[in-house]
Amino acid sequence: MDDARLAAFVRSQINDAIGYDQTEHSLRRVRAIEYYRGELRDLDARDGWSKVTTRDLSDHVGWILPSLMRVFASSDQVVCYEPQGPEDEGVDKQASDYVNYVFWRECSGYRVLWDAFQDALMFGNGVFKFWWDASPKHELLDYTGLSDDAFTQLVSDDEVSVLQHRQEIKTERVPDPQTGQPVEQPYTCHDVKIRRVSESGRLRIMCLAPEEFLIERGATSIEDAKFACHRSRRTRQSLIDDGYDRETVLSIGADYDLQSTPERVARWNRVLYDQNHFHSDPLMVEVDVFEAYLRVDHDGDGHAEWRKVVIAGTTGDERQLLANDEWSDDLPFADVVPNPDAHIWRGRSMMDELEDVQKIKTTLQRQTLDNLYLSNLPQREVVLKNVSNPDEVVNPTPGGVIQVSQLGQIREVQTPFVAAESYQMLEYQDMVAEKRTGVSRQSMALDPEALSNQTATGQMLAQSASYSKIELYARNIAEIGLKRLFRCVLKLIVRYQDRPKMVRLRNNWVQMDPRAWNANMDATVSVGLGSGSRDRDMMLLMQIAGKQEQIIAQAGPMNPICNLAQYANTLRKMVEASGLKEPDQFFSEVSSRTVQQFVQQQDRQDQPQPDPRAQAEMARMQIEQQKLQLEQQRAQAGAELDRQKAQSQVQAMREKAMLELQLARERSAEEMRLAEERAEFEREQRKMDAILDAQLRREEMLLEAELTREANQMNSAVTARPADTNIDTPAETGM
């Protein structure tokens, strides 16, 4: 599958998911936003009549949210990891502390939870997105008045680059070490501006707006979905910073689809203007970006694998393919669902439970007020031709006079007040809302009518029953959404954090290195305290602490029922239940080893002290015994030393003999080798001498033969000359 076919397939998935979201969920979300603000656009009001609306959805969401936040945000320990094997003992505690620190301190955990819980209550699902942000972090910092050492230490960091630097020589008065008199001493002062670029990466968690999350049609959960997508608006500059091709990014056309969704129009209560018209810089133009995760057989091996595909730009075939990578992590999404429905992804929201209740109560309240208006200001029958000033009849003023030609020309039309009957229906609708949502008078406030003629136990039972559904919401949120979130967060930290990090835990600096942790440890989200009232939690904890104190007083601090560590945990939970977030300021965390050491120390202190004279005599005997043992040890050590010395001498002599023998063997072998080489050299020398002698004799013979031949030639020439003496020469003939 090439990039063109993959891009076309992803576009079809995105368009189908957008169509599914707009037809099934978008209008419901818009109506939930309007009902939350008290705007019932589907319930028209007549002109001149009451237009008041109730805000049942806002009231119920506003009362459930504090309970949920008290469950999960009352303590710094929102998640706890459990070991899967003996090798995870101790590591699970470190992982729990570190992930909780990162979530609350670096990821704005409180705001993330608040946004997700509010979305979940209003729309049914609150969606998280989590990822490891590896983009460099740029910081511009100014420092003034640095000394030489401080300046050198600052600029020696590899992550620091100096942008501006100015140094100045100043003087200060210091006492002379010899005379003690103040003298002027010069020193260098540095002013510097630096850029710090940190490339270590960091965990990011955010709550997505409901219109930004797309999921396939018919999905039952995020874990089982085969397609999920994050739809966002980003500037071209941010895409270039993420490493995408600059020319491709600049060719992406601007879009206004996400900005003009019905949810954003309803949320802002107006149509948002396209900000792109106000930017002359093309890098600051915003474009729609689709970060899609889907299963597809891209390589054609017959197995569909997960891939991350990033597409940006306008709708249709004009969207640009920015990235296409195989994805090996979990889907970077999780959702919290307070009231899930079986076999479908979308959960039931407070809007689903209260829409008809809010509409009925709004109608009844309008009718009640209209009836009250007519009862207080009744209508009038007037013969206008007999009234001189009809404006006073239409718009009466206090103390005004209506001028009539004769009495009886004006008569009030009495409207019976029947609105009191609607109060029972309004109360009935409150009961319906209470049964559906779990928010009652006991859970909202201290109602005197609810407490009349009731004992404290009865009131506590009623209040506990009213919290049961909110506790169910908290349990669903913990098990369905937050458990997956923190399990995936641990995997991201273990996989991508490539260096140790110093964090401040319990007023101590601790170095955390997650690279050796087990990334598959199971996560447990704490939902114990906070689901009910603080008074109830505190009362239960005080009862538990009282029983623990009795058991420890009677059976000791190391009894099999409870120990000091468990008692310390109860005290720390009491601090958390009171609303204080740092129990370490009041009670230290105690481990079983610390308890055991404390008990051993107490046992040593509780032992009876012996008589001083007996103790001195015992000490003297112990000293004498120690001296005797020391002498014996010294004698044994001397004998052992002599034995070791003798063994060492024997071993040295043996090694010396072996070395001498080895040396003699090596010398003999070397002499034999030299003799053989000498004999071989002599043989070769004799061979060379024989060859040279033969060559010399051959050359001598050749030379003698040559001399003989030349001599013979000369002799032949001499013997031939007398035969030619009778021949006259030219000189002799006179020519």
Among 60-64, 224-228, 439-443, 567-571, whose mean pLDDT is lowest? Answer: 439-443
Res 308 pLDDT > 70 = yes
Domain match, 669 and 697 both: yes
The CA distance from 334 to 492, in Å, is 14
339-353, 435-449, 555-569, 686-700, range with the lowest pLDDT: 435-449
Whether residues 640 and 577 share a domain: the answer is no
Residue 31 in domain: no
Q: Is residue 711 part of a domain?
A: no
722: which strand partners? none
The dihedrals phi and psi of 642, each to the nearest 5 degrees, come to -65, -45
Give residue 611's pLDDT: 62
CA distance 166 to 188: 10
Question: What is the C-alpha to C-alpha distance for residues 7 and 309, in angstroms, rounded to an integer?
Answer: 8
What integer pLDDT is reported at residue 275 of this predicted model? 57
Residue of 59, 60, 50 lying closest to 422 (CA atoms): 50
Has residue 173 been placed in a domain? yes
pLDDT score at 350: 93
Q: Are residues 666 and 603 in the same domain?
A: no
Average pLDDT of the residues of the chain: 82
183 and 143 in a common domain: yes
* Domain ranges, residue 616: 612-701
Decide which of 607, 633, 659 is a domain's last residue. Answer: 607
Query: Could you tell me which residues come within 8 angstroms of residue 56 by beta carbon, excluding any fewer than 6 positions away?
Result: 354, 357, 358, 361, 433
**pLDDT greater at residue 441 or residue 711:** 711
Q: Which of 558, 581, 607 is the last residue of a domain?
A: 607
Would the pTM of this model clear 0.75, i.e. be above it?
A: no
Residues 586 and 617 in one domain: no
For the chain, the domain total comes to: 3
Residue 616 domain-assigned (yes or no): yes
Final residue before a domain boundary, out of 564, 584, 607: 607
Residues 567 and 624 in one domain: no
Distance between CA atoms of residues 497 and 198, nearest Å: 13
Q: Are residues 588 and 616 both part of a single domain?
A: no
Whether 164 is covered by a domain: the verdict is: yes
Please give the residue that has the higher pLDDT: either 508 or 532: 508
Q: Which of 123, 113, 112 is nearest to 36 (CA)?
A: 123
Question: Which tokens hold the place of 204?
Answer: 């990011």
Q: Quick one: pLDDT at residue 495?
A: 92
What is the number of alpha carbons within 13 Å of residue 476 lying toward its C-beta?
22
Residues 31 and 36: their CA atoms lie apart, in Å, by 8
Q: Is residue 654 part of a domain?
A: yes
Residue with more model confidence, 303 or 390: 303
Is 166 within a domain?
yes
Evaluate whether residue 261 is within a structural domain: no
Do 628 and 679 belong to one domain? yes
